[in-house]
Structure 1
Amino acid sequence: MDRRLAWFTLTRRNLLRGALAATLAASVLTACEDDDKVTHWYGSWSASPQDHNEPFPVPPPPSFFNHQTIRQALRTSIGGDQVRVRFTNLFGTSPLKIDGARIALSAGGSSIQPASDTELRFNGNASVTIPAGGELWSDASELKVGAGEALAVSLFLASETAVSTVHAYGLQTHYVVAGNALSTETLSGAETRSSYYFISGADVRSSARANVVVAFGDSITDGVGTTPDTARRWPDYLSRRLQPDGSAGTVSVLNAGISGGRILNDGLGPSGVTRFERDVLGQTGVTHVIFLLGINDIGAGAFIPEQAVTVEQMTAGTQSLIDKAKVRGIKVLLGTLLPWKGADAGGVPYYSEEGEAKRQAFNAWVRANTTVDGVVDFDLALRDPANPLALLPAYDSGDHLHPSDEGAEAIANAVDIRLLKVQP
C-alpha cells in the first residue's frame, strides 16, 4: 500500500506540475498573442519651455493674465483613442493655479467643435495648482484624435497670474478673452497671441506600435521663416511625409526647437546640454532624435563675444548628448549645419569668414561621426550649387539664415525615413 500510495502521490504531483506548466505556457502564449493589442502612450505634440523673463523675449508677451481664458491651438503628429496634456510652470517663481481646462477638436480660428469638447481633469479634480518649477500631466481624456488633427486646449486663470513659462515663437494664433469661456464655441472679440503659455506637450494612447522622433534644434527647427498658422516647420513636413507613406509604420515627430537655441550657452532658451534630458529624453515613448543645432553657437559671437566657442567645444557638447541618447537606446541622426552666407540678425552681421570656417569644421566632424545611426546632410540638400556657402534662393526666407516653406520641406525630404522605421 505504501508503494502504491507513493506512486499515486508522485504521479499526481507530476500531473499537477504538467498542468501548471501548460497553464503558464498558455498564459505566456496568450500574452504574446495579445501584445500587439496592448495600448501605450506616445508623444504627439510638443513645444519646449522657455523663460518669459529671459533676455530679449520675442515676441513680447503680456506680463500677466487675470480672470481670462486662453485657447491655444496645436496639431497632433499621430492619433489615438485618448489624449493627455502636459501643463508647465517650469520657470515660474510662484505656484500656478489653473482653475479649469478643456480640450476639443478645432473648427478653425478660435472655434471648437462643440460635440468634442471634453474636460481635462487632474487626479480627478477640475482645477490644479502646479508648484514653481513643476510640470504636470492632465488625466487621460476620452477624446479620439487622428494624425494631423487640429486641437484646441483652453485654460481658465481666475486670478492674476504672472506669465512665466512660454514657448515664444509658437507660429500659431491663440486667443484670449475675459472670464470663463472654456466651452464657448467661438471666442468673439478675442485678443490674439502667437506664443504658447503653460503647455508643453500632448500625448495620445494607441494600440499601434509607434516610434517617436524628436527634432532637436534652434529657430530653423522652431519654424522661423515659415508661414504662421500653416504648420510648415520642417518637423511638420516630416510628420506629413511619414503618414501617407506608411512604409516606416506609425511614427510621431515632435518639435523640440527653440529660437536662438545653442548647444553650450543659454540665450533665448536653455542651452542644448541643459535641456536635452527634459526636451528629448523625457518625451513619452522617444525612440529617435534628429540633431540640427550649432549655428547660433557660431554666430552669437557677434552679439556676445565673451560667449564665443571653439569647434572642439561644440563637438564635445554634441557628443555628450549623443552618448546620453545611446545609453537610453535612442537612435541618433546627426545633421550638418545649413549654409548661411549673408545672414544677419536684426541688422547685425551674423555670417563671417571665421564663422564659416567653424561651420565647415563642424560639418566635417558630423559627416565623419561613426557613433550615430545616420547622418543627414542638410547642408548639401539646401545649398545653392552656384554659391555653395549660401542657401538656394528658393529655399531662403529672405534673411539668408532661415529656410522658407520650400526650404523647410527640403529639410524634411533630406531625412531617410528608412532610419525611422518601426521594427517588427
Structure 2
Amino acid sequence: MLCLALFAVFAHAAPPSEAAVPVAPAAAERWIGSWAAAPLDFRQLAPLGTPPPVAPDDRASSGLTLRHQLQPSVGGSRVRVRFSNRFGTVPLQLSAATVARGTGGGAISPTSLRPLRFDGRPGLAIAPGAEAWSDGIDFPVEAGQTLVVSSYYERAAPLSTVHLQPSNASWMSNGNAVAAPRLPDAQRMPANAFVTGVDVWAAREIRTVVAFGDSITAGALDGEGGGNSYPHQLATLLRRSPGPDAAREVAVLNLGIGGNRLLHGGAGRSGLVRFGDDVLGQSGVTHVIVLLGTNDIGRTAFIGLPGQAVAASEIPTPEQLQAGLQQLVRQAREKGVKVLLGTIPPFSGSPYGNEHTEALRAAVNRWIRGRQDVDAVVDFDAALRDPARPLALLPAYDSGDHLHPNAAGLTAMAGAVDLQELRE
C-alpha cells in the first residue's frame, strides 16, 4: 500500500508543457558529470510498458525515505548530487539527504556516510520545473564504485520526476532513515525518483561523453543494473584500453530513454526538445554520441492497425529525420561539443520491419554516413547486422525480438566507437 499511495497522485494530474525549461545547474570549472540519467514524467511511463499503479485515493504519502544506488563512471575528490523536480506541478520539499558508499542491496557503509547540504542547509524546496545541486562535499570516489544517495521527504512527495536507468536500484521506507545502514521494511520502487546526476570534482583533464538515444542506448533488456548497456561497456573499454592517451580519463553518461523519438514526444520529451537539458546541460560535457530515429521510423509500421492510431503528422520523411539530426549537430557544435553520429541498427523481423521502414532507415543511414560536419560516424548498423541478411541483426547479437541487441550485441556497439576520438 505504501507504493500505491505514493504513486496515486498521478492518475488525475495533467502533464506539464513539453516546452518547459528547467533551471540549469550553476557552472563550475572543475565539476565533471560522472553519472546521470534522463528524467521522465512519471505519467509518461505507460508508453514504456510500465503503467503506474492506481490507489484508492489521490494523495501522495508523506514521511518517506527514498534510497537510490548508482555507479559513477569516473572518480574524484569531492561530489555533489542533482535533485530534479523537472516534471513536478508542486514544490518538492526535500528535508534531508545523505551520500554513502554502497555495500549491496541498498545497504551502506556507516563509516562513509556524509550529509548533503544545500547552501549550508539540510534541505530545500525545489520549485516545479527546477533542479538543484547539493553543496560539494569532500567524498573521494572511484570509477565504478557503488554510491547510495538517500533522501527524506517529511511532506507529501508526489512521484513526478523519475528515471528508469538502472531500474532495479531504488527503495523506499517510512520515516527519516537517510542515515540507516539498511532501510527498515524497505520496498522496491518501480522507478527511480528525483536523483538525476552526480558530479565529481577533479583537478585533472577529463572528457565527458553523453550517450543520447532510446532503449538501444538505455539498455532495454538489461537485467544487471546497467551493466549490459553499451554506454556502461564503453566506459569499461575506455578504462581498460591501451594507447598513447589511455591515461586521459573519459566519463560516459547514459541519457537514453526507452521508446524515445527524435521528432515527437510520448515516451519522454522528443530528442529535439530534451537535447539542451539532457546533453548540453551536463557538467563538463565534451562529446555526444547520438543514436535516435529507430522509433520515429518504426511507428510508421503501425499505420492502419487496430488500436494503433498514428497521426499522419507523426509519420516522418527522410528529410525530416535528417533535419532533426542536423539540428542536434548544430546545437552541439555551437556549444563546442564534439558529435559522433550513429547509424540506425537493423530491425528486420521485428514489428518495425517492412518495405517502407527499411527504405526510410536506409535513406537516413546514407545521409549519416555522408556527413562531413560531424567529428565521427559510429556505424552501429554495420557492427550489428548479419552479413548474410544485412537488414537483420546478426543472430548472435539478437535479444530475440529482432530489434534490441543482446549483451553480445551491446558489447559490439561499444566496440564500434572510436575510443581515441573520445579522448581528443
CA deviation map 1:162-206 (0-9, x unaligned): 111111353332111111111111124311124220111110001
Aligned to 2:23: none
Of 398, 401, 407, the residue aligned with 1:399 is 401
Per the TM alignment, residue 128 of structure 1 is displaced from its structure 2 partner at its CA by: 0.7
Of 326, 350, 355, the residue aligned with 1:353 is 355
Aligned to 1:416: 418
Aligned to 1:92: 88
Q: Which structure shows the bigger proportion of residues in helix conformation?
A: 1
Distance across 1 between alignment mates of 2:187 and 2:222: 23
- Change in Cα spacing, 1:122 to 1:99, as seen in structure 2 (3 Å) is same
CA deviation map 1:109-153 (0-9, x unaligned): 021111111111111110110001100111112111001111111
- Change in Cα spacing, 1:353 to 1:160, as seen in structure 2 (3 Å) is same
Aligned to 1:224: 220
2:43 aligns to what SS in structure 1? coil
Aligned to 1:311: 318
Distance across 1 between alignment mates of 2:61 and 2:357: 42
Per the TM alignment, residue 65 of structure 1 is displaced from its structure 2 partner at its CA by: 4.1
Tell me if 1:56 matches 2:47.
Answer: yes
Aligned to 1:259: 258
Tell me if 1:337 matches 2:344.
Answer: yes
2:142 aligns to what SS in structure 1? coil
2:341 aligns to what SS in structure 1? strand
Q: Confirm or deny: 8 A CA contact 2:167 2:192 kept in the other structure.
A: no
Q: Confirm or deny: 8 A CA contact 2:70 2:169 kept in the other structure.
A: no
Tell me if 1:153 matches 2:149.
Answer: yes
Distance across 2 between alignment mates of 1:170 and 1:58: 16
Aligned to 1:179: 175
Aligned to 1:213: 209
Per the TM alignment, residue 412 of structure 1 is displaced from its structure 2 partner at its CA by: 0.5
1:237 aligns to what SS in structure 2? helix
CA deviation map 1:359-418 (0-9, x unaligned): 111100000011101001000101112221111122111111111111111111100101
Q: State how 1:8-407 maps to structure 2 within 5 Å.
A: 40-54=30-44, 56=47, 58-61=49-52, 64-229=60-225, 231-245=227-241, 247-248=245-246, 249-301=248-300, 302=302, 303-306=308-311, 307-343=314-350, 349-407=351-409
Distance across 1 between alignment mates of 2:108 and 2:128: 31
CA deviation map 1:91-118 (0-9, x unaligned): 0011000111111111010211111111
1:363 aligns to what SS in structure 2? helix
2:141 aligns to what SS in structure 1? coil
Distance across 2 between alignment mates of 1:304 and 1:414: 36
Distance across 2 between alignment mates of 1:161 and 1:421: 41
- Change in Cα spacing, 1:135 to 1:395, as seen in structure 2 (3 Å) is same
TM-score scaled by structure 1? 0.86
Distance across 2 between alignment mates of 1:292 and 1:400: 17
2:88 aligns to what SS in structure 1? coil
Give the residue type in structure 2 aligned to 1:41: W
Give the residue type in structure 1 aligned to 2:43: N
Per the TM alignment, residue 324 of structure 1 is displaced from its structure 2 partner at its CA by: 1.0
Per the TM alignment, residue 51 of structure 1 is displaced from its structure 2 partner at its CA by: 0.7
Per the TM alignment, residue 230 of structure 1 is displaced from its structure 2 partner at its CA by: 5.2
Distance across 2 between alignment mates of 1:320 and 1:240: 30
Q: What is the Cα-based RMSD across aligned positions, in Å?
A: 1.6
Per the TM alignment, residue 66 of structure 1 is displaced from its structure 2 partner at its CA by: 2.4
2:369 aligns to what SS in structure 1? helix
Per the TM alignment, residue 58 of structure 1 is displaced from its structure 2 partner at its CA by: 4.1
Q: Which has the larger radius of gyration?
A: 1
Distance across 2 between alignment mates of 1:167 and 1:405: 22
Q: Confirm or deny: 8 A CA contact 2:210 2:254 kept in the other structure.
A: yes
Give the residue type in structure 1 aligned to 2:138: E
Per the TM alignment, residue 304 of structure 1 is displaced from its structure 2 partner at its CA by: 4.4
Per the TM alignment, residue 229 of structure 1 is displaced from its structure 2 partner at its CA by: 2.2
2:357 aligns to what SS in structure 1? helix
